[in-house]
Every structure is written in C-alpha cells, then in structure tokens.
C-alpha cells in the first residue's frame, strides 16, 4: 500500500529526486511481486522477478547472485524442454509450501524448512541436538519427524485445540484503523521533512537530495542512481550474450561496477601532496610490515619507532593534514583563574554570541517554529532591556575554511530541509550547526521569522538587535506588531562575532552597564 501510494503521488512530477524515488519504488514493488509469485504459485511472475533481480545484482556487485540467478531463470524458462514432467507440478506448488487453508499463503521451501524441521531440531528441549551426537540416531529422528508431527496434529484436532485460520482478520475495523494510521504517519513524516513529491520542491531544487540527512549528492552519484534501471539491464543482457557466444564465459570473472550512492558521499579525509589530492589511509598491517622489513634489513626496531608512523606527525596535525589548534577558550579560562570578577548589580545591555546561544539548545523540537520561539524566549528572559545577538558572518574563502571542512559532516554544504514553521528540523541540531551553509541559512531564517507579528508577546518591552551577514536589525513590539529596522551604524564586514561584539560595544553610550555573554571554543 505505501509503495503504490508513493508511485501514484509521484506521477506527473519531474526532477532528479522524483526520478530516484520512482526507481526506489520499482525495487520495492519487485520485492513484493517476487513474494506474491511464491505465495500464489505464479511461475511466469517468478521468472520475471528473477530476471529483474539479476539485473540489480550485476549493477550492485553481487556477482555470484547475478550469475546463478540468471542460470535459475534460464532453467525454469526451458523446463518444458528439459523436464516436461515437472512443468505442471511446479506451476501448481512446486516452489512453495502451503501450510494453511488460505488461498494466498504459500511460503518458500527453504523458509518452511527453517520454520519447521530445522527449528524443531535445534530446540534444546525437544530437538535432536539435546539428546545425542550419534549420526544413526539423527537419521532416525529425521525419518520419523513427519509421522510424529502428523500424530501430534491429529491429537490436537481430536481435543479441539487446533486454531482455525481467520481469513477476515485484515478486514476487521481495528486492523483497518491501524493500517490507515500508519499510512497517515508516513505521509506526515514526508511532508514535515523533505517532501520530494511537492511542486515547490521540484521547482526549487534541481539536485538529488537525501531526505534523511537533508543534503544533496554529487552530480556523478545523482546520474548513477537515476540511471540504475537502464544500466542494470544493459549489464545483464551483455552477460547473457557473452554466455551464448562462449560456453566458458559463465564461470569467468564478472567485472565490478563503481557504486556511487548516498553512503559514498560521506566525507573522506584527504591531503594535498605534490599538487595532488590523495586519500589519507592508515594501514592496518603497518606494524607487521615494519617488523618484516626490519628483519630483512637487520634494522633495529627501536630506531624505527623514534619517528612518526602517520602521514602527518600527530603532535602537529590531524590525519587530513590540517593543523592542530588549541581552543581559544583555554586561554580565557586560564585568565579567569587569575581575575576576581564581581557581578554587576544593574545590567542595562547584554551582548550575546548568537551561535554560542544556539549550541546551548539541547532539546529535540518538532518544528522550526518551536526552535525560533524557544530561542527568542531564552533571549528575552535575560534581565536587560536591550539585548544584542551577534552571529558570525560565513564567508569563503576564509582562513577558517580548513577548520570548517574538518568539522562539516559532509562535503556538500547544501541542505534541503525547508526552513518554515511546520518543517521538521534535524534530530541532531548540534551536528548540523557544524555545517556552514546550515548556520548561515538558519541565521537568515530567524531574522525573517522574528519579523512576524505573532512574536510581539515574547519580545514585549525589550529592544532586540540581531546581526545577519553584513547587516544588523533592531526589533521592537509596538501596538501588538513587530517593527524591524536596519541599523546602518552596526553594519560590518567582519567575519568573527567576537570582533563585531566590540563594534556593538562601541555603539553603546559609555555610561551603561554592559554584560557580554560568549565562550569561543
């Protein structure tokens, strides 16, 4: 039901995201068709599913499955020539076992064995493994298992203990309500995260997005995933033609395909050496190789271990070649130990580092509206009448690019989660705040969102200054409306929030009591 709903919803939509979902739904439907062919004994549908699955095996580097699935489909197709006496038997129930009276409940033979004889044999109380290690006893147990099972079933039937199959269970009101609730939950999850079916999404985004992480993939991965259906059939058909031309081809090596998927887009530590970007790898057998070479060349191992064994000495840099740095807050804490501070009795203005404030949010919110409301409430609960929230300015190129690349959870900075009231934010908000693109867009959206009149009760009599890129805005609640104005005196091209805080401090009259809340780590 859900896969059919998704496919029907996607009809008429265009774009890479919709195209990928169509391919994904086709794979789900193929799995369902294979299961249905076994349960109903539909031989033609079963052979069709085997051929289609073999094509996926070729593309996704499952060479043994691909080779022998093609062989199985070929043998079943030509069964009327090789084993004509089995055709009628297989069409009726040859590749499945029917254990109930239902018309749609046949199970695969191997699954039935696992659920019956194999499970009973492994049982610690009644299984054969519990009382003997004799091969003869095991064979006797296997031969008499069918008779014992029939006798037990006959006894249960005489005592009226056998349960009859309820073919109407799925049509009961409670079951229908449960299925409907699950379908509604699925559609709501898609709508509240990244909906690949909406018209606005298809118009705004021309890239393929992962709706779980909210990040777009590279163009090469997008092309691979979208064209998977066409490429898989090409590799399957080529293999069949090669086997027809050469009888030795069937057991020969099948070349692998370079798989580009969402997982392959994860960030890989890289370093630049001799002008080329190379992937940094730590050899697992490095120590073994060292001992082998030392024994071959009569080298003292103690001399070898005097030198670093990593591509970059770990006292100077990370494995990706970036420099090791000490947090600036370490110096701040050291200075605080030698300083006696007294809290002011009266606070007129509070200056806050915006991203420091965002990192203090530890809850999981159902929507972006909840985040905007909670942040604003946290700001306005501060005692001062005038509050300045200053954010970093995200620019590139920058001296901080290396550090940002090391912290980012993905190479791609594009995030598709729509910043709207009902949009569902990522579950791990702190992890997303490491992404420069996400931080920049969140800052812009908060400034736009707090301009709505519904936030006048939260701001109240406060005067709120919020920076956004090079600009700075002041928010005030007047007659149950939010008034937002640009403050040209606080416009700045500075990148760091620490520097901009001094600009805001210089903007204030010298006779005011000011508190700065920031902790740069």
- Chain segment 355-412, per-residue pLDDT in tens: 888 887 766 677 888 888 888 998 998 988 999 999 988 877 776 666 666 565 444 4
DSSP, res 430: H
Q: Could you count the other beta carbons within 10 Å of the beta carbon of residue 502?
A: 14
Q: How many CB atoms lie within 10 A of CB 507?
A: 14
Q: Distance between CA atoms of 424 and 192, rounded to whole angstroms? A: 5
Average pLDDT over residues 244-248: 88
Say yes or no to pLDDT of 258 above 80. yes
17 near 225, Cβ under 8 Å?
Answer: no
Give CA–CA dist 109/235, Å, rounded: 30
Give the span between the Cα atoms of 479 and 482, in whole angstroms.
Answer: 8
514-517 and 349-353 beta bridge pairing = parallel
- Which neighbouring-strand residues pair with 483? 476
Q: Which two tokens stand for residue 333?
A: 């804490």
pLDDT of 4 higher than 70: no
Determine the Cα–Cα distance for residues 47 and 75; give it in Å rounded to an integer: 10
End-to-end Cα distance, the chain: 50
Query: Quick check: 417 pLDDT over 80?
Result: no
CA nearest to 385, candidates 263, 508, 212: 508
Cα–Cα dist 445/443, whole Å: 6
Residue 433 has pLDDT above 70, yes or no: yes
β-pair partners for 209: 216
Query: Could you give the percent of the chain with pLDDT greater than 90?
Result: 11
Chain center to CA of 228: 20
Query: Mean pLDDT for the chain?
Result: 76
pLDDT digits (tens, 9 = 90+) for 301-320: 778 777 777 666 767 766 55
| Global confidence as pTM | 0.44
Could you tell me if 49 and 57 are in contact, meaning their C-beta atoms sit under 8 angstroms apart? no
CA distance 204 to 318: 38
Q: Are 392 and 493 in contact (CB under 8 A)?
A: no
Statement: residue 33 has pLDDT above 60: yes
Query: Contact 443/375 with Cβ under 8 angstroms?
Result: no
pLDDT tens digits, 461-507: 999 999 999 999 999 999 989 999 999 999 998 888 888 999 999 99
**Sheet bearing 481-486, strands edge to edge:** 481-486, 471-478, 463-468, 386-390, 349-353, 514-517
To 5 degrees, how large is the angle CA 244–CA 249–CA 251?
A: 130
In 124-256, beta strands by DSSP E = 209-210, 215-216
Which pLDDT value is given to residue 394? 83
Locate the domains of the chain by residue range: 2-192+219-224, 343-517
Query: Would you say residue 87 has pLDDT above 60?
Result: yes
């Amino acid at each position: 039901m859900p896969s059919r709903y998704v496919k029907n919803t996607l009809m008429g939509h265009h774009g890479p995201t919709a195209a990928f979902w169509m391919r994904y739904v086709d794979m789900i439907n193929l799995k369902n068709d294979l299961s249905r062919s076994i349960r109903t004994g539909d031989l033609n549908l079963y052979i069709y599913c085997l051929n289609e699955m073999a094509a996926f095996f070729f593309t996704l580097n499952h060479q043994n499955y691909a080779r022998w699935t093609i062989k199985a489909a070929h043998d079943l197709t030509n069964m009327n020539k090789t084993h004509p006496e089995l055709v009628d038997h297989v069409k009726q129930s040859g590749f499945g076992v029917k254990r109930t009276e239902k018309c749609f409940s046949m199970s695969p033979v191997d699954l039935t064995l696992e659920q019956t004889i194999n499970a009973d044999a492994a049982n610690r109380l009644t299984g054969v493994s519990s009382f003997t290690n004799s091969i003869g006893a095991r064979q006797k147990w296997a031969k008499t298992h069918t008779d014992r099972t029939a006798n037990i079933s006959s006894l249960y039937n005489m005592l009226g203990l056998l349960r009859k199959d309820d073919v109407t269970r799925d049509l009961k009101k409670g079951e229908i309500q449960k299925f409907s609730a699950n379908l509604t939950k699925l559609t709501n999850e898609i709508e509240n995260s990244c909906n690949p079916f909406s018209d606005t999404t298809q118009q705004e985004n021309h890239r393929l997005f992962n709706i779980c992480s909210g990040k777009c993939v590279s163009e090469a991965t997008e092309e691979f995933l979208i064209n998977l259906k066409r490429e898989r059939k090409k590799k399957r058909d080529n293999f069949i033609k090669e086997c027809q031309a050469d009888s030795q081809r069937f057991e020969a090596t099948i070349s692998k395909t370079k798989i580009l998927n969402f997982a392959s887009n994860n960030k890989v530590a890289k370093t630049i050496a001799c002008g080329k970007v190379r992937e940094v790898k730590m050899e697992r057998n490095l120590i073994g190789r060292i001992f082998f070479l030392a024994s071959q060349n009569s080298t003292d191992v103690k001399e070898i271990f005097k030198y670093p064994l990593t591509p970059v000495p770990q006292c100077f840099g990370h494995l990706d070649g970036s420099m090791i740095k000490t947090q600036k807050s370490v110096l701040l804490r050291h200075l605080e130990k030698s300083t006696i501070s007294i809290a002011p009795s009266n606070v007129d203005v509070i200056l806050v580092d915006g991203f420091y404030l965002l990192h203090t949010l530890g809850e999981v919110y159902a929507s972006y509206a909840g985040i905007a409301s909670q942040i604003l409430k946290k700001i306005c609960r501060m005692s001062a009448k005038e509050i300045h929230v200053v954010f970093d300015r995200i620019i590139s190129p920058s001296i901080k690019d290396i550090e940002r690349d090391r912290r980012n959870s993905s190479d791609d900075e594009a995030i598709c989660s729509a910043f709207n009231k009902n949009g569902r934010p990522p579950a791990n908000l702190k992890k997303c705040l490491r992404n420069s693109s996400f931080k920049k867009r969140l800052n812009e959206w908060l400034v736009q969102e707090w301009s709505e009149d519904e936030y006048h009760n939260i701001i109240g009599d406060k005067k709120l200054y919020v920076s956004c890129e090079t600009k700075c805005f002041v928010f005030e609640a007047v007659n149950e409306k939010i008034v937002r104005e640009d403050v040209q005196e606080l416009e700045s091209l500075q990148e760091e929030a620490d520097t901009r805080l001094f600009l805001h401090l210089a903007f204030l009259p010298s006779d005011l009591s000011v508190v700065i809340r920031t902790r740069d780590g």
